[in-house]
A and B are shown apart, each in its own frame.
Chain A
Amino acid sequence: MAVSRRNHGWLIWLTFALGLLLSVSPMPQFMEVFRPMWLALLVSFWTLAVPNRVGMTTAFVLGLAEDVLYGTLLGQNALILTLITFLVLSLQQRLRMFPMWQQSLVILVIFGIAQLIQLWLSALTGNRLPTLALVWSAVISALLWPWISFALRDLRRRLHIN
C-alpha cells in the first residue's frame, strides 16, 4: 500500500494542475459567467475520496495559486476554497452515502454559499460585481459534479489511490 501511495500521489496534483489550467483557459466572453469552479470541484472530490491526503491545507495552497493567477488579493480565493473544503469535510461521512443527484444538490448549496461569500469579499475589496450572475458558475459546477465524480472515481479505483 505504501508503495502505491508513493506512486500515485502525483496524480492528484496532476488533476489540480489541470484544474488550474482550466480555470484560466480562454473562453468566449458570454460564457465567462458560466465558467465552472474547476478547482473547487476537484478539491471537493479528493477530500471526499481521500480525506487523509487532501485537506484544508491543500485547499488553502491551491487557493493562493488561484489568487496569483486571477490577480485578486492573496487569500481571497484561498479563503473560499478552504471554506468549501471545510463544509465538504464536515459532511463527508454522509455525502459518501448519498446518491449522485443528492450529492449534486449538496454541492450546489455549498458552492452557492461560497460564491455569495466571494461576492461579499470582492465588494469589500472595492470591485463590487454588478450582478448575482456569479451564482451561475455554482449551478454549472453542480451539473458537472456527477461526470467529474464518475471519471475521477474510475481513475482512482484503477490506480488504487487512497
Chain B
Amino acid sequence: MVVDARFDVLKPVRSQMGLVLMESYWITDLPQRAWQGVAGQFGSRTELIAENEKLKTEALLLQGRLQKLAALTEQNVRLRELLNSSALVNEKVEVAELIGVDPNPFTHRILINKGERDGVFLGQPVLDARGLMGQVVELMPYTSRVLLLTDTTHSIPVQVNRNGLRAIASGTGNPERLELRHVADTADIKEGDLLVSSGMGQRFPAGYPVATVNEVIHDSGQPFAIVRAIPTAALNRSRYMLLVFSDRRSPEQRATDAAIAQEEADRKGASAPGQPAPANGQGVPAAGAPATSAAPATPTVPPAAPAAAPATPAAAPAHTRRQ
C-alpha cells in the first residue's frame, strides 16, 4: 500500500491488470445494454416521430444560438488580439461513454471507455452536455477513472458569471450539492447565480458552467456565508461525456503560432482574389485593425453576416492550436 501511495513503480502493473479486470464492468453492464438495445428495436413509430420532431426543434434552437455564438466568438478573438492575449477559444474534445460507477457509495467516481491509448491524460477535464463533470484521476490502457466534482476530496476554482467573484467549490459527497468555501459574508452572491470555471489552478479550462447557486445562508455569528450550489452537469445521469484536450503550450508559443497562421492566411488572401468580397476587403485585416473600422461599415447587417465574413482569421489560429 505504501509503495503504491508513494511511488510510481506499480502504476504500469496496475494499468495492465486493469486492462483485463475492467472487462467485468463491461460484463455487468451487459443486461442493461441488452435491454436498451431491445427497447431501441421495438421503439414505436409514433415515439420515433415525436422524438425526431423534438430533436429538429432543438437543432433549430441550437443553430440559432450558434449563429450568435459565431459572432461573439469572432468579436472575442478580435478583442483578445487587441489586448495581445491569446486565451483559448476552441478546444478539441473527444466523446467518451460511461461504462461503470464506483461500487463504493462514499466516493463519486466513474469509469469511462477512453484510456491512455486514446490520448487521455491525468487531470484531464471531463464535461457533459450541461457543464463540467470532473477530472481523470487514473489511467488504464483503454479505460480511465474520473473523479466527479461532488466527491468529498474534490474542489474546483469557480467564478460567479454575473460579476466575476472568485471562489472555490468543494464536493460534499452529495451528487446534487457543492459548497463554496470561504465566501465573505458581504460578498455579492445570490440565489440563481451561475458559477463557471475560472481557469485558475491550471487544470480546468475557463468559462465552462459548473453549478448554480441555490442557497445562500448568512449567519451573523459566522465569518463566512454558507453557499450551496447544484452542479449543472447531470453527474449521476449522463451516459455520454466529453473529454477536453486543452492546449498545453506556453502562451508565447501559442502567440507565435497564431501569428504564423495569420501571416499564411494573409498570403493566401492576397494570392486568391476569388474569395467572397467582404472576407477579402475587411475581414482579413479586421483581425489586426481595430474593431471600429469593421463596425461602422456593416451597421445594419444581421450579426451572422459579419461573423461569417471575418471567420478566416479566427479559424486559422484555432486549427493550428489543435496540433
Query: Hey, which bits of chain A sit against chain B, CB under 8 A?
Result: 17, 20-21, 23-27, 29, 32-33, 35, 64-65, 68-71, 73-76, 79, 121, 125-127, 129-130, 133
- Chain B residue at minimum C-beta to C-beta distance from A134: B106
Q: How many residues of B contact A (CB 8 A)?
A: 33
Contacting pair A73 B101 (CB below 8 A): no
Report the separation of the CA atoms of residues A71 and B100 in the bound assembly, to the nearest whole angstrom: 12
CB distance from A38 to the nearest CB of B (A): 10
- Interchain CA distance A3-B152 in the complex, whole Å: 53
What is the CA–CA distance of A32 and B137 in the complex, to the nearest angstrom? Answer: 22
4 further A-B contacts with Cβ under 8 Å, apart from A26-B100, A71-B145, are A20-B24, A69-B22, A75-B1, A79-B1
Whole-angstrom CA separation of A27 from B31 in the bound complex: 13
Task: Give the residue of B4, B14, B100, B105 whose beta carbon is less than 8 angstroms from that of A33.
Answer: B105
Question: Are B24 and A69 in touch, CB under 8 angstroms?
Answer: yes
Which residues of the other chain, B, contact A130 by a CB distance below 8 angstroms? 106, 152, 173
Chain A residues, Cβ within 8 Å of B104: 32, 70
Provide 8 A-B residue pairs closer than 8 Å at the C-beta atoms, listed in order of the A residue. Answer: A17-B24, A25-B28, A27-B103, A32-B104, A32-B105, A71-B145, A74-B13, A130-B106
**CB contact under 8 A between A65 and B100, given known A20-B24, A21-B27:** no
Q: Of all chain A residues, which has the CB nearest B105?
A: A32
Given A68-B17, A73-B5: A24 and B24 interface contact (C-beta under 8 Å): yes
B32 interface residue per 8 A CB criterion: yes
Cβ contact within 8 Å between A71 and B10: no
**Min CB distance, A118 to chain B, in Å?**
10
B254 within 8 A of A: no
A26 touches B32 (CB 8 A): yes
Take A68-B17, A71-B145 as given contacts and tell me if A35 and B4 are in contact as well, using a CB distance cutoff of 8 Å.
no
Complex CA–CA separation, A64 to B137 (angstroms): 19
A-facing residues in B1-22 (Cβ within 8 Å): 1, 3-5, 10, 13-14, 17-18, 21-22
List the 5 closest A-B pairs by CB distance, nearest first: A32-B105, A75-B1, A25-B28, A74-B4, A68-B17
Q: A21-B24, A73-B5 are in contact. Are A68 and B103 (CB under 8 A)?
A: no
Closest partner residue, chain B, to A126 (CB atom): B153
A90 to B: closest C-beta gap in Å: 23
Most buried by A among B18, B21, B101: B21
Which among B18, B27, B106 has the greatest number of chain A C-beta atoms within 10 A? B106
Q: Is the CB of B173 within 8 A of A65?
A: no
Would you give the shortest CB distance from A125 to chain B, in whole angstroms?
7
Min Cβ gap B273→A in Å is 59
* A64 pairs with B17, CB closer than 8 A: yes
The answer to whether B5 touches A29 (Cβ under 8 A) is no
B76: interface (CB < 8 Å): no
In the assembled complex, the CB of A53 is this many whole angstroms from the nearest CB of chain B, namely 22
Q: Contact between B25 and A24 (Cβ–Cβ < 8 Å)? A: yes
Chain A residues positioned under 8 Å from B32 (CB to CB):
26
Q: Is the pair A68, B102 in contact by a Cβ cutoff of 8 Å?
A: no
Instruction: Please measure, in the bound complex, the distance between the C-alpha atom of A23 and the C-alpha atom of B32, giving whole angstroms.
Output: 17
- Is B138 engaged at the interface, CB distance under 8 Å to the other chain? yes
- How far does the alpha carbon of A65 sit from the alpha carbon of B10 in the complex, in Å? 14
Contact flags (1/0) for B16-52 with A, using CB distance below 8 Å?
0110011011011100100000000000000000000
Q: Which residue of chain A has its CB nearest to the CB of B11?
A: A74
Contact B152 A127 (CB under 8 A): yes
B124 in the interface (beta carbon within 8 A): no
Q: Which residues of A contact B137 (CB under 8 A)?
A: 71
Give which listed residue, A21, A23, A79, A125, contacts B5 with CB less than 8 A: A125
Are A26's CB and B28's CB within 8 A? yes
B177 within 8 A of A: no
Given A24-B103, A26-B101, A127-B153, check contact A71 B109 (CB 8 Å).
yes
Residues of B within 8 A of A29 (CB): 105, 236
B69 to chain A, nearest CB (A): 36
Residues in A with CB closer than 8 Å to B21 are 20, 65, 68-69
Q: How many Å lie between the Cα of A79 and that of B4 in the bound state?
A: 14
CA distance A119 to B94 in the complex (A): 37
Complex Cα distance A4/B190, Å? 72
- B153 pairs with A24, CB closer than 8 A: no
CB contacts under 8 Å to A, within B63-116, are: 100-107, 109
Instruction: For the complex formed, measure the closest distance between the CB of A58 and the CB atoms of chain B, giving whole angstroms.
Output: 16
Is B106 touching A129 in the complex (CB atoms < 8 A)?
yes
Q: Nearest chain-A residue to B138 (Cβ)?
A: A71
